[in-house]
Structure 1
Amino acid sequence: MIPAMPATASTARQASVTALRFGRVAATGAFAALILFAGVWGSWGTAQHVMLTKGRERGTVRVTDCAGDTCSGPFTPASEGVRAGARVEIEQSPAVREGATYDVVLKPGTRDAVRSGPAGVLYAWVPLGGALLLASVVVAGGMRLLRVAWVLGLSGAGLLTAVFVALQ
């Protein structure tokens, strides 16, 4: 640069680089937040029934028949005012086996059952575990916050590992 010329060209370049960097961090931060929000939203549909059991119909189901995506069996109530013997449906997953008995909570107004207890709580939060893993990649790549990314990734991996161990 010629000493007599003003430094406006380099100042403008620095300002544009700063603006682009801020835009990248803001966009990827918003995307990571959206991923985490979607994980919580996907988990809460089931987790609310498992975690907030006061006033809900609780009991056990002995799985007798599995067809398609659901398994069903007779319901034995553990809470008062619930009729016994009614057939309820539970989502078929690798953790639900025919012939086994599971603690369940019924969704209000339906005969759909959701696993309860520690295994049910952990299983309900599986979508959040996946979202944590995905958000860690976005945070590491787009925001360059490696420590935060490691925390998110290890939290997601830990949650998914806990689910795997609890359902065995």
Structure 2
Amino acid sequence: MPSAVVSSQGAFVALRFGRLAAMGVVAALILIAGVWASWSSAQYVMLTKGRESGTIKVAGCGDDTCAGPYTPISAGSQARERVVIEHSAAVRDGETYTVVVKPGGSEVVRSGPAGVLYSWVPLGGALLLASVVVAGGLGRTRVAWAMAGAGGALITAAFAVV
């Protein structure tokens, strides 16, 4: 009989390790996806050296994008009749925003503190989602609360600045 108890405990340990490993991988993938989604626009806003920067006066908005004339601020930047910016809660028709031009096109992203915070919103959402996995799947409630607090603070700060 002792071997049945030992194998039962071994199976329990293996299942527990498997659950922790799986939930750890899921949480890591959620966070990696959040960083990946954020970095696609954050790189242009945060690493501005050598990039064209200026302002856009939003002349009109469609379903997904807004457009308007671009006025350069940085040296070497050229004025453009029409550039495109993502249509979101952060962009309103008739307003002027400081922007950075994405290389090789006419697409721009907001710059400054509002642009930085807005570009990292996907990471804030990923932190909130991963905190549920960390609390429920890994049983690390303190870490989960810290992650949820950081994600909530990031999203709240972006909302306040925008």
Q: What's the TM-score bracket when you normalise by the shorter of the two chains?
A: over 0.9
Q: Deviations over 1:118-142 (max 9, x none)?
A: 0000000111011000100011111
Equivalent residue number for residue 94 of structure 2: 99
Whether 1:121 aligns to 2:116 is yes
Q: Deviations over 1:3-40 (max 9, x none)?
A: xxx52111111111111101000000001000000000
Distance 2:137 2:92 in 1: 42
Equivalent residue number for residue 149 of structure 2: 154
Equivalent residue number for residue 56 of structure 2: 61
Whether 1:44 aligns to 2:44 is no
Distance 2:134 2:46 in 1: 30
Large movers: runs of 4+ above 4 Å: none
Which range moves more in the overlay, 102-111 or 75-84?
75-84
Distance 1:69 1:14 in 2: 56
| 2:106 counterpart (104, 111, 126) | 111
What secondary structure, in the 3-state scheme, does the structure 2 residue paired with 1:103 have?
Answer: strand
Structure 1 or 2, whichever has the larger Rg, is 1
- How far does residue 97 in structure 1 lie from its aligned partner after superposition? 0.7
Q: Deviations over 1:94-113 (max 9, x none)?
A: 11111111000000011101
Whether 1:83 aligns to 2:78 is yes
Q: Which amino acid aligns with 2:55?
A: T
> How many residues of Structure 1 are paired with residues of Structure 2 in the alignment?
162
Percent identity for Structure 1 against Structure 2: 61
Distance 2:155 2:62 in 1: 26
TM-score (norm 1): 0.94
What secondary structure, in the 3-state scheme, does the structure 2 residue paired with 1:86 have?
Answer: strand
Unaligned ranges ≥5, structure 2: none
TM-score (norm 2): 0.97
